[in-house]
Structure 1
């Protein structure tokens, strides 16, 4: 007894062309060009509706990968609570620097920077947003150190984050620095002082 002949496979199931927009959606999703991936995904669904072209699954995969990229970016950029846990009481506060951050000098000698606060961090700051958060906290700390320095337009507040060249910082501390931009003599804590570059 012979078995019945197998029915011929429907050529439309195996030989359907893959939509080029679907391929583009997948590739753009893989390389994280999310806006383009979404646009080509929409075009894919419009063009393949009611046709025998394959590719809807590939477009869905590209959109899913794009969504994963968005989730990763959101996690990285999302503000994390508790970066700054508070100020650190340190004998380094009040130190003045000349030329480089590793050249401390007496504040009675010409200098360009003065450390006015140190902040304790819960982790290493890993984004521009967190660096701005440290800088904003340093600006708030300046008024606690010197009421006159806050009103001095010649003083710029900088933040020395972990990873700067200053050897005194570890991964969990940031230094708040008043930068005068000129050779100042005297601590900002004492008010306006003589500048070597003043007219």
Structure 2
């Protein structure tokens, strides 16, 4: 009785898959084959020469959206002329034009890739120092306005510069300027030569600025009425002169009128 050997195949007696190939045992010095090495879009085999860029089956990387790309600027294109002008104008005290040219220069330096930013900033800083200096000087001038020296009877004993609103009845002034706005007057002792004596002070009615002509008319009428008492006292012929507020001082609350008798 003969024995038939079982058919060749995988363990368990299952037939091989259709189209499959049963690999044999590897030979000495030969790499086992497992269906071949898959290809990935032209990737070189192990040990082969590298391929050129862009030949690996993947598209080139696109820039990521939302990330700003750095832009290169060349060297500065000279020094901005307005920046230089701002510094010079600031040094000589032309404050308004120094500020204007300095602000424009800062914008142009950035837009045109120029030098001069430090010059423009220096011009603005110097202009600010001028403004601060003027403000401090004005405050000091107002704070140090001298009070005239007076004797026991109230008469001025020394020549002193004062504001018109500090004149009192009986004070004498060195001279009177009949033109323009008067900000300071020089008081002198009435015992010596003088250019006029204060004989009355009064206030105009408060309210909105009535206009220069109306203020002058009211001041003249008030001083004329108050001069009647002096007609018999005048040692020699004289004229009436008056100081009145202007629109600027009116807005600050000045309503005072000072009447003076001035020798002819």
Alignment TM-score, normalising by the size of structure 2: 0.37
Could you say which structure has the higher strand fraction?
A: 1
Alignment TM-score, normalising by the size of structure 1: 0.47
Could you say which structure has the higher helix fraction?
A: 1
